[in-house]
Amino acid sequence: MNENDAVDRRTASRRGFLSMGAALGTAAIAGCGAPRSDASASATPASSEEEGSPEQVEPVEEWSGSDSTGVETDNPYTAPRTTVDLDETDGAITMSTRACRHRLLGDGARGGPWELPEVWAWETPDTDPSVPGPLLRVTEGTDLEITYDNTEHDRPHTFHVHGLSKGWMDDGVPTTTGRQVAPGEEYTYEISANQPGTHLYHCHYQTQNHLDMGMYGLLRVDPEGYEPADKEFFATVRDWDTRLSASTAGSDVSFSQRDRTSDAFTVNGRCAPYSFHPEEGSPMVVEEGDSVRVHFANAGYESHAMHTHNHGFAVIEKDGGVIPESARHREDVTSIAPAERKTIEFTADADPGVYAIHCHKVNHAMNGDTYPGGMIGGLVYESVTDTEQFASVMKMAGYED
């Protein structure tokens, strides 16, 4: 391949990436329209050699995934998360659950394939099953009618959402209400979007397993008159013990929640470098000078110390509560506990490049014994998407335009 061929391939890859990134960014900012893939996270740092020489991505050893996930099933694969505008449906939506396979690393990604042979994915009549479930977005004050239709799965389930007030019987907790949705039945939860913010939803039946099998997602309530940032992203992080999925899918692997040990770490359901893939992952694409807002949520069991490279930020929301301006300060690491949500805001004013956003419990930024991997996302400046470094990151992610 000659130099012109290389330039042409990088240009084509950049066009494809930006086309996808533009669509994702517009959807995330608008928070409306038909169901669509949303953007949120990804990238990996490059390391330089001699001064004046081209920077090279740090070489890493190959890794072929965990034996505990090597179970064959006929389940369909999950799709990337989509966004549903509940303002357009007058607050009404029907949700259900489907058993699926879920790619942690795709076939073309470095270290792939690696997958969970069975997850329980949320879906709607208009969206494919996904982990996390669809991002539900609505304006404050809307009355929600969330119908859980349990005709696609063989276990009882519920719908429980954090942060919003609702009637006792609509809390979605069988332990305290005595109510769950049995296979073949449905139930409509009536909930008011009465608390602005980013809220976690999940199944609360046998929570220790159903949450851990992928039944989680985000419900975003925008306050009246909400002014979005130039770029807005949602990043749901979580840790997994892949033995639960394998055991549920029929493997004879031994698993107990009392013996749970996390061995996979994801951003929006993908491990790095697959998290950088513009179609299957969720890279953050920004332009110089953009105001950037990232809504973090932790749907896992462990706390994560999320760190931004070369961009200080302020935490502006926590669990639906707005942080007063007088209490905000510059940070570059924030801890997010299980079920906690934090919204950070910053300006894309660094030297344009590809910057990591990752958990600083560094063993969470690994796939097995291989680093980097796991819970790494990042920020991609549009102006560097024609560089060799960016092309190398895309190659590791398994993306070829």
- pLDDT, one tens digit per residue, over 130-178 is 999 999 999 999 999 999 999 999 999 999 999 999 999 999 999 999 9
The pLDDT of residue 36 is: 37
Would you tell me the crossing angle of helices 388-397 and 3-30 to the nearest 10 degrees?
70
The pLDDT of residue 149 is: 98
The pLDDT of residue 69 is: 73
Handedness of CA 301, 245, 210, 342 (dihedral sign): positive
pTM here?
0.87
Structure tokens at 380: 């991609």
Q: What percent of the chain has pLDDT over 70?
A: 83
What pLDDT digit, counting tens, does each position of 16-35 carry? 566 555 444 433 333 333 33
**Residues 221/196, Cβ–Cβ less than 8 Å:** yes
Structure tokens at 315: 């935490």
d(CA 14, CA 387): 9
**Residues 290/346, Cβ–Cβ less than 8 Å:** no
Q: Radius of gyration over alpha carbons of the chain, in Å?
A: 20
What backbone torsions phi and psi does residue 149 show, to the nearest 5 degrees?
-105, 110
Residues of the chain with pLDDT below 70 are 1-68, 401
Is residue 47 classed exposed, middle or buried when 0-12, 13-18 and 19+ CB atoms within 10 A define those classes?
A: exposed
DSSP-derived secondary structure letter, 106: -
End-to-end C-alpha distance for the chain, whole angstroms? 17
**Residues 367/114, Cβ–Cβ less than 8 Å:** yes
**Residues 343/359, Cβ–Cβ less than 8 Å:** no
